[in-house]
Amino acid sequence: MGVLKKNAKKYKVSVIVLLLYFLLTLFMTYPLILNFTTSVPGDNYDTWVFIWNFWWVKKVVTEPNLNLYYTNYQYYPNGSSLTFHTLSLFNSFLSLPMQLISNIVVSYNIIFLLSFILSGYGMFLLVNYLIKDRKIAFISGLAFAFCPYHFGHALGHLNLLSIQWIPFYVLFFIKIFQENKKSNSILAGIFLSINSLTDWQYGIFSIIFSILYLSYRGLIERNIKFDRSLILKLVLFSMIFVLITLPFVFPLISDNRQYSFIFKSEDMQPYFYIIPNFMNPLWGNFFHYLLPNVGFAENMMFLGYTIIFITLIGIRHTFKKTKFWIISLIFFFLISLNPRFDLFGIKFMSPLYLLFYYLFPFFSYISIVNRFSILVMFSLIVIFSFALENIMKKFKGNFHRFAKDMTYYLISILILVEFLSIPYPLSNAKIPEVAYEIKNQSTTILNLPFNPNPYSLYLQTVHEKKLLNGYISRPQNSSLDLLNNIHKLLISGKFQDVSDILSVYNVKYITLDKNSNWNDFMDKNFSKFLRSIIIGKTYEGENLMIFKILPHDEIRFFDLNISFYENFYDEEHSEKMSWRWMSQDGIVKIYSENDSDTNLIIWLQSFYKGRTVDIILNDKIIQTSNISNGFNFIQIPLNLKRGENSLLFHSREGCGVPSNYSINDDERCLSVLFVTSSL
């Protein structure tokens, strides 16, 4: 009866802790909960890749003759291997039952929220096991769950967002040496497998941590006795891990020689650990201004001043308990730094990295070493929990008990305020109707430029048509052959050959990514090709435009006779393109030999700020476009009359003088830049 009562109390505590982490997660990820079915968290980029992963794994499971590690739904017709694509297999398989009862967006959002809830709970269990203090364990859990590393990768890296399995694995791995239970070996093997199948890098991180722990216990503390019982537990642990992961690891081993992995550090500097959270609504803009070149996801490594301060104050009398965790922190701190350095003008690689290259063939798979910072945070939080326990021992008596509780609340609030990242960025996940229209047609799709925004993959989860492009982490070289050929033909003006290729592969739609680098396509050849093959714009959204193309036998390639007639400044040039600035109302003259319908394809850029431009053809408004101060791809349908046509561009906000904005000494009044090399 006493055991049942004890277990009931333990479960009650777990339910309360999980509920608190759930409520905190809803607050810290606000406003996701208000847009749960229509938006996904993130930066409108890599998030779509992981949603595509969910769709692809479901397709493999539910349809015959598909290979988990190969697809020709991207880079059609050659396709590409997916062995080193970030499939995040555990998350993708976890989404399957959710996709059956809901849609793919809700599935993603549930897994997103679970990452925060379970990260907190896993750290709670680990710290509570180590120090036997539930309140400190709860604070440690919220520090781990809502750390800036977590929020940074939550912008789009679902694989790296999934840090929740690390504390679960460490807990049961440590228990192998502390308790005589086979269940710990089984659970440690399962959680190491989950870590690995969530992201292979986290599997490697966990293995390195395990080796460090074994080395410390065996060589420094010398308090591990490798008797028959321990060896059997370690064998059981290893067998569980191998049996679960081997079917998924084997293709990676066989394909490893085809790929080259290069260490990066994303300009990692040690002081990134003390630069406050850039996403914080209170002071984030200030620190982002100080470090304008620091990227969000990979360099959000802030450890938190509250955690550092308490650790430094309370660590003095906890060194014996925290010795391993201090070694772990230092080790992973060193390994998270730039692996390459210069000495007297000679480039070297850190001996630490060379050692790991030699010992672990797959260590090179960790291409961005900043990611080791999660284990720096993990180790620091454990040290912090011991330090806080040491400080709180000084509070005694009823009054001190009240003060102690108030201190816990204050520390929790300070940590949450430091790590605050609200409102958290969301991406609109509403599916445009055109995706359902395409679903009912026989077609493949070409996306331009050739490095598309992965939003096109999200649309593919609805229309299920094959793409000549793709967005795979590491596509095979052969996957790009067709795209490279099309690109060469476009640049050289061989439009009929490109049209023939599109006909052979049944391309009836072209999607244009509005957020990619268009520098290589800002030329006359590309504009001529596009305006000659498209019927008209089928859809335009935040991310892309979709055009239907003419039947192959109706395509005719022609030039437009265009002149900049009034209110344009002299043409300017750079190595890659030429352009003209317009003042306020610019007039372009277009001469047509016959009455004809066509499209004007042009890139525009507004000076200093966004502008609204009315486009007027022969005294009739035909289009109004919002032009940002970045490059804007604009398609204007034209109904030309025979002879001269007047096209007026009217800037509602007028023009601005650069010298008035302290940009330069230019005294011209500028409104919109026209990339003339595209005409």
Q: What is the pLDDT of residues 649-661, one digit of tens each?
A: 999 999 999 999 8
Nearest-angstrom CA–CA distance, 555 and 500: 10
The pLDDT, as a whole number, for residue 339 is 73
Position 18 pLDDT exceeds 90: yes
The pLDDT, as a whole number, for residue 410 is 96
Token representation of residue 311 = 């650790």
The number of angstroms, rounded, from the C-alpha of 477 to the middle of its chain's C-alpha atoms is 23
Q: Give the strand pairing for 444-448 and 507-513.
A: parallel
> Do 539 and 572 lie in a common domain?
no
Position 37 pLDDT exceeds 90: yes
Token representation of residue 608 = 């200093």
Helix spans in 200-318 (H): 200-215, 228-255, 284-290, 296-299, 305-314
Nearest-angstrom CA–CA distance, 106 and 97: 12
Q: 109 lies in a domain?
A: yes
The pLDDT, as a whole number, for residue 285 is 76
Q: 293 lies in a domain?
A: yes
Structural domain tally of the chain?
Answer: 3
Radius of gyration (C-alpha) of the chain in whole angstroms: 29
pLDDT-derived band of residue 345, with 50, 70 and 90 as boundaries? low
Peptide bond into 167 cis (omega under 30): no
Which range among 274-288, 357-371, 578-592 has the greatest average pLDDT?
578-592
> Do 548 and 565 lie in a common domain?
no
> Do 191 and 324 lie in a common domain?
yes
Q: How far apart are the first and last CA of the chain?
A: 85
Nearest-angstrom CA–CA distance, 303 and 272: 9
Kindly report, residue by residue over 394-403, the tens digit of the pLDDT: 777 665 778 8
Q: Taking the CB of residue 309, how many other CB atoms lie within 10 A of it? A: 14
| Residue that finishes a domain, picked among 419, 448, 474 | 419
24 near 416, Cβ under 8 Å? yes
Nearest-angstrom CA–CA distance, 420 and 191: 29
Is the model more confident about 534 or about 232? 232
Lowest average pLDDT, out of 47-51, 239-243, 549-553, goes to: 549-553
> Do 257 and 273 lie in a common domain?
yes
Nearest-angstrom CA–CA distance, 148 and 299: 9
Nearest-angstrom CA–CA distance, 509 and 460: 13
Position 190 pLDDT exceeds 70: yes
The pLDDT, as a whole number, for residue 258 is 56
Please state the pTM of the whole predicted model.
0.90
* Residues 6+ positions from 600 with CB-CB distance below 8 Å: 531, 560, 590, 634, 635, 636, 638, 647
Q: 82 lies in a domain?
A: no
Token representation of residue 167 = 């504390």
Nearest-angstrom CA–CA distance, 142 and 122: 10
Nearest-angstrom CA–CA distance, 573 and 615: 25
Polymer length in residues for the chain: 679
Mean pLDDT, residues 192-221: 94
| Residue that finishes a domain, picked among 387, 419, 451 | 419
Token representation of residue 248 = 């998924």
pLDDT-derived band of residue 292, with 50, 70 and 90 as boundaries? very low
Rounded to the nearest 10°, the torsion over CA 209, 213, 219, 222 is -170
Give bridge partners of residue 598 from the DSSP assignment: 638
> Do 548 and 596 lie in a common domain?
no
Is the model more confident about 360 or about 486? 486
Position 503 pLDDT exceeds 80: yes
104 near 55, Cβ under 8 Å? yes
DSSP secondary-structure letter at 555? -
The pLDDT, as a whole number, for residue 348 is 64
> Do 386 and 465 lie in a common domain?
no
Q: 304 lies in a domain?
A: yes
Give, for 547, the enclosing helix (H) or strand (E). Answer: strand 544-549
Position 452 pLDDT exceeds 50: yes
- One-letter amino acid at 529 equals F
Q: 96 lies in a domain?
A: no
Position 568 pLDDT exceeds 90: yes
Nearest-angstrom CA–CA distance, 673 and 679: 13
Position 534 pLDDT exceeds 90: no
Lowest average pLDDT, out of 451-455, 464-468, 521-525, 644-648, goes to: 521-525
Lowest average pLDDT, out of 20-24, 246-250, 291-295, goes to: 291-295
- Closest by alpha carbon to 405, among 134, 126, 9, 128? 134
DSSP per residue, 126-145: HHHHHH--HHHHHHHHHHHH
100 near 116, Cβ under 8 Å? no
The pLDDT, as a whole number, for residue 316 is 85
> Do 339 and 447 lie in a common domain?
no
Q: What percent of the chain has pLDDT over 90?
A: 61
Position 262 pLDDT exceeds 60: no
Kindly report, residue by residue over 305-326, the tens digit of the pLDDT: 999 999 999 988 888 899 999 9
> Do 325 and 258 lie in a common domain?
yes
> Do 474 and 612 lie in a common domain?
no
| Residue that finishes a domain, picked among 397, 419, 441 | 419
Handedness of CA 110, 116, 122, 124 (dihedral sign): negative
314 near 391, Cβ under 8 Å? yes
User: CA of 205: how far to CAs of 61, 130, 160, 269, 374, in Å?
Assistant: 29, 21, 12, 20, 10
Q: 514 lies in a domain?
A: yes
> Do 452 and 546 lie in a common domain?
yes
Nearest-angstrom CA–CA distance, 189 and 169: 8
Position 355 pLDDT exceeds 70: yes
User: CA of 567: how far to CAs of 249, 572, 664, in Å?
Assistant: 64, 15, 21
Mean pLDDT, residues 91-119: 97
The pLDDT, as a whole number, for residue 421 is 93
- One-letter amino acid at 238 equals S
Is the model more confident about 304 or about 8? 304
> Do 280 and 399 lie in a common domain?
yes
Mean pLDDT, residues 346-371: 71
The pLDDT, as a whole number, for residue 463 is 96
Kindly report, residue by residue over 573-588, the tens digit of the pLDDT: 887 778 999 998 999 9
- Closest by alpha carbon to 651, among 584, 603, 606, 605? 584
Q: 90 lies in a domain?
A: no
Q: 114 lies in a domain?
A: yes
* Residues 6+ positions from 246 with CB-CB distance below 8 Å: none
Nearest-angstrom CA–CA distance, 146 and 630: 34
Give, for 323, the enclosing helix (H) or strand (E). Answer: helix 319-335
Q: Taking the CB of residue 337, how many other CB atoms lie within 10 A of it? A: 18
The pLDDT, as a whole number, for residue 61 is 96
The pLDDT, as a whole number, for residue 401 is 78
The pLDDT, as a whole number, for residue 235 is 96
Domain harbouring 574, CATH code: 2.60.120
Mean pLDDT, residues 395-414: 84
> Do 512 and 579 lie in a common domain?
no
Position 381 pLDDT exceeds 80: yes
Q: Which domain holds residue 583?
A: 561-678
DSSP per residue, 517-529: --GGG-SHHHHHH
